[in-house]
Structure 1
């Protein structure tokens, strides 16, 4: 596994070693020891989640606050998504900045997003199956969110806005100035 830290300290792009032959392929998608060494810290995942979405579905930007904050290791099992993390750590030099990564079932790239970040993704293929690990259990009372089109963050989704499919809940998330603090 190749680990590349992004401009957002603590966020890593993980590129697996894929072994292909006439039968298909094999790859190790997670190894606790390799992962901990690669990101320079120990993270214990306690919950796995999976979603299926169609082209144009934008999920996010979501996060958990306080003691329920979550780090995530995300990947796409089938399809293609643009995955986005926004730094919401109050004293971070990259506060309000984002990183985007193309995750596909073909490239098998993963994205590690530490606690203190909002996370979301946009489905670019006809369908996509999205899988992620969390290091803390979901807690409804600790939900936070950031509007996907916040003008300060200015995420380039590179997709026609009139074709986006966004839940009612995600359409009314606050802008960066009014978000619920992560801690």
Structure 2
């Protein structure tokens, strides 16, 4: 398993080692100890999600309030997507930058997305199936979205006519989210991650 940090602090790409023979294939697609060694703390497993999307569907850009935020470990178990991570943390040296990683059922890469980062993807195949391991459970009042087609972000989605949900189509631009106070702050995200306990949980005061 190879783990490397992307050009945005808190975003990591994980490439597993696959062991195949005429019977099939085996691999470790998640190792809490290796991930913790790379990112500095374990991922608390609070919820597992699965999504299936048709070709050309774009989901995102989604993010959660920090605290508590929501770290994610995402992989594609069927088909292929372009997974996009966006730095929406006010004050970050890479604010507004995005990174794209192809996730598919061939190389079987995964991405780890730290608290405070935005996340989205575009399905390259029909029935593209993603699994998410999440550090917190779903909190509808603390989760938000930025419009994935915002010209300021200029994300190069590989779809001629991206299909969006009603929620994502009505999402604010990055500038509007910033003006309305929705975006997390880089310093607060750093402090939150630094304060995580050895079990991956936040301190009781939310630090």
TM-score of the two chains, using structure 2 as the length reference: 0.84
Number of aligned pairs? 181
**Is there any run of 5+ residues in structure 2 with no aligned partner, and where?**
186-207
Match of 1:175 in 2: 173
1:12 Cα deviation after fit = 0.6
1:138 Cα deviation after fit = 1.2
* Equivalent pair of 1:50/1:129 in contact (CA under 8 Å): yes
1:89 Cα deviation after fit = 1.5
* Equivalent pair of 2:66/2:116 in contact (CA under 8 Å): no
1:156 Cα deviation after fit = 0.7
1:153 Cα deviation after fit = 1.2
1:26 Cα deviation after fit = 0.4
Q: How far, CA to CA, are the matches of 1:59 and 1:98 in structure 2?
A: 15
Deviates further, 142-151 or 37-46: 37-46
* Equivalent pair of 2:124/2:158 in contact (CA under 8 Å): no
Q: How far, CA to CA, are the matches of 1:157 and 1:39 in structure 2?
A: 28
Deviates further, 27-36 or 37-46: 37-46
**What SS does the aligned partner of 1:66 have?**
coil
1:81-104 C-alpha deviation (Å, 9 max, x unpaired): 010011111121001110110000
| Larger strand percent | 1
* Equivalent pair of 1:57/1:122 in contact (CA under 8 Å): yes
Runs of 4+ in 1 over 4 A off after TM superposition: none
**Is there any run of 5+ residues in structure 1 with no aligned partner, and where?**
none
**Is residue 2:12 matched to residue 1:12?**
yes
Q: How far, CA to CA, are the matches of 1:34 and 1:83 in structure 2?
A: 22
Q: How far, CA to CA, are the matches of 1:58 and 1:159 in structure 2?
A: 8
* Equivalent pair of 1:70/1:114 in contact (CA under 8 Å): yes
Match of 2:147 in 1: 147
Q: CA RMSD, aligned part only?
A: 1.1
